[in-house]
Structure 1
Amino acid sequence: MRVLFASPDASVLNNPDNICVSPRGGIVLCEDGSEGEYLHGLTTDGEIFPFAANKAVIPAGGVPGKSVAPGDYTGSEWCGSTFEPKNGDWLFANLQSPGITFAITGPWRKGSL
């Protein structure tokens, strides 16, 4: 094993506990920390960057046709990120509570990841 990146403190990266490899060989890290809940990208050169922030707030009345309870879920951690296996065009990432899955499209082969 080789260390690609070691976080200097929690404000840079705080307790990532789920990772997946992108189509280009970068890494997506699901943060599980108290400084905010982010998906981070880690390039093959060891450069880290925040990729997506959890800003999930479900308004009163919920989402029509969905059974997600209204509420502020910004403290929920990202988990279970994975790229779809056929072409790697979609990144799926989940918020642990209330159990929301996000489908995010690239161009993954042209970007930092």
Structure 2
Amino acid sequence: MNAAAPRSEAGLRVSVRVTPKGGRDAITGASRDEAGQCRLTLKVSAPPAEGAANAAVVALIAKTFQVSKSRVSMLRGDTAREKLLLIEGDMKALEDRFAELERSSS
């Protein structure tokens, strides 16, 4: 997988598919959606109740991309397994990290 994640002026947009109550917090791979965009697959140990899984997703993405949690926002999918996140920060560093995740999951 060598296509970059969609870029916006505000930051890097990343689609994720989340498995709540997955036993651990981890990025388990990357795949392409129907439009050909890369999507990360995640597991979080938190249940999908009272926003716990969403908080775990934000924390995992922030840690993975080495940004503060306040720099990660959920654009779509608050109550769904499919989510669209916006990660703000140094675009070169974010894109490089995203590319590493793509390579490691192929």
**Structure 1 length-normalised TM:** 0.24
Higher-RCO chain (CA-CA 8 Å, sequence separation at least 6): 2
Q: Which has the higher strand share?
A: 1
Q: Which has the higher helix share?
A: 2
Bigger radius of gyration: 1
**Structure 2 length-normalised TM:** 0.25
